[in-house]
């Protein structure tokens, strides 16, 4: 039997949460992390798969009833609602609708000719994206610039100075959450702009780095000195700053947006292994760590020099060309 609290929740919502739990354990058995316990306070979203009705600026949700909402985007004619997700954010509740029209054909990639146009993308911190055509896209660093770090530090200090469990502490915590939400909204908007700028170029194939971002942000392994029995320095304090910059850049989300827009325009995206892409000489093929000095690339073998990150983007482009054309593809300058 259901208690009074569960009786107020739609059965389809509970079924969707069970599916989430099943997905979490499948990921765990495939080696992708252990499921985290979630109580009522940190459940921030729930999903309806049927029973949702929409009329003008009013929406009906099972067990919750009818309520008004701000309709930011109207549903085109002929589409039906397949699912509705309700999310809680710092400044209110948001509703996302998944709609479907079976008469709309699926997107299909354009056929590649004998000489396809390929562009390589190298992701970075100083610049967000370096393209193989020499173009560079700025990285605004929304969360790691001086002003943002100072604001976040002040708001977090105000939270820590309030009495635990008090209403003032909750208010201060909400202000911290609102600041994080503002940064996230800015990052999302900027990434869509960058992704559209890349995909709208006159190319057939977009070559992206196949990055293991979670591995790049993993903590340094702890090692000890056998004689002294002390921990050896691994540079984790400096790596913490790098990890914050990687997280702020949002490479993974940007790649997903580029892939999404590429499919809509019928273009192909290829993920390329970026190993040694910024250390390999494009003139003689010599690979050495000392070839790169910051943003400069000077080959210690033949003296070839260029911008390190743009050269890496060109290398990624060449590796994609080998996949598209075959192993006989030649390097392009």
Task: Quote the tokens at residue 265.
Answer: 């325009």
Report residue 317 CA to chain centroid gap. Answer: 22
Query: E strands within 257-329?
Result: 268-272, 292-293, 296-298, 305-307
Q: CA 78, CA 76: separation in Å to the nearest integer?
A: 6
Point out which residues pair with 210 in neighbouring strands.
none
Report residue 290 CA to chain centroid gap. Answer: 31
| From 122, 248, 280, 318, active-site residue | 122
- The SS3 assignment for 22 reads helix
C-alpha distance across the termini of the chain, in Å: 71
318 is annotated as an active-site residue: no
Q: Which residues contact 77 (CB under 8 A, 6 or more apart)?
A: none
H or E element in which residue 185 lies: helix 167-199
| From 204, 209, 248, 280, active-site residue | 209
Q: CA 130, CA 91: separation in Å to the nearest integer?
A: 35
- The SS3 assignment for 51 reads coil
- The SS3 assignment for 72 reads coil
Ordered DSSP codes for 84-115: EEEEEETTEEEEEEEEE-TTSPPP-PPPP-SS
122 is annotated as an active-site residue: yes
Which letter, b or e, does each residue of 171-182 get, where b requires 16 or more Cβ atoms within 10 Å of its Cβ? ebbeebeebeee
| From 248, 280, 306, 309, active-site residue | 309
Q: Which residues contact 214 (CB under 8 A, 6 or more apart)?
A: none
- Which letter does DSSP use for residue 290 in this model? G
Q: CA 22, CA 296: separation in Å to the nearest integer?
A: 49
Q: Which residues are identified as catalytic? A: 122, 209, 309
């Amino acid at each position: 039997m259901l208690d009074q609290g569960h009786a107020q929740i739609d059965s389809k919502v509970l079924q969707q949460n069970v599916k989430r739990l099943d997905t979490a354990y499948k990921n765990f058995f495939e080696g992708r992390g252990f499921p985290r316990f979630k109580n009522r306070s940190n459940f921030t979203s729930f999903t309806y798969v049927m029973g949702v009705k929409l009329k003008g600026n009013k929406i009906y949700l099972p067990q919750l009833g009818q309520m008004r909402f701000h309709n930011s985007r109207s549903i085109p004619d002929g589409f039906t609602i397949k699912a509705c997700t309700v999310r809680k954010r710092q400044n209110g509740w948001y509703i996302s609708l998944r709609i479907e029209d079976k008469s709309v054909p699926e997107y299909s990639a354009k056929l590649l000719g004998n000489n396809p146009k390929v562009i390589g993308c190298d992701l970075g911190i100083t610049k967000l994206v370096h393209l193989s055509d020499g173009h560079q896209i700025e990285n605004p660093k929304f969360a790691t610039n001086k002003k943002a770090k100072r604001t976040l530090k002040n708001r977090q200090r105000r939270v820590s100075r309030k009495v635990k469990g008090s209403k003032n502490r909750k208010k201060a915590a909400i202000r911290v959450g609102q600041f994080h939400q503002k940064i996230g909204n800015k990052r999302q908007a900027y990434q869509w702009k960058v992704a559209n700028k890349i995909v709208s170029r006159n190319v057939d194939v977009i070559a992206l780095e196949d990055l293991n971002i979670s591995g790049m942000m993993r903590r340094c392994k702890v090692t000890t000195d056998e004689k002294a029995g002390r921990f050896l320095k691994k540079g984790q304090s400096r790596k913490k700053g790098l990890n914050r910059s990687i997280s702020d850049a949002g490479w993974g989300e940007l790649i997903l947006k580029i892939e999404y827009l590429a499919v809509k325009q019928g273009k192909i995206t290829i993920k390329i292994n970026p190993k040694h892409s910024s250390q390999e000489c494009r003139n003689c093929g010599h690979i050495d760590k000392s070839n790169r000095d910051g943003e400069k690339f000077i080959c210690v073998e033949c003296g070839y020099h260029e911008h390190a990150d743009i050269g890496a983007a060109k290398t990624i482009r060449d590796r994609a060309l080998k996949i598209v054309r075959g192993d006989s593809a030649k390097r392009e300058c």
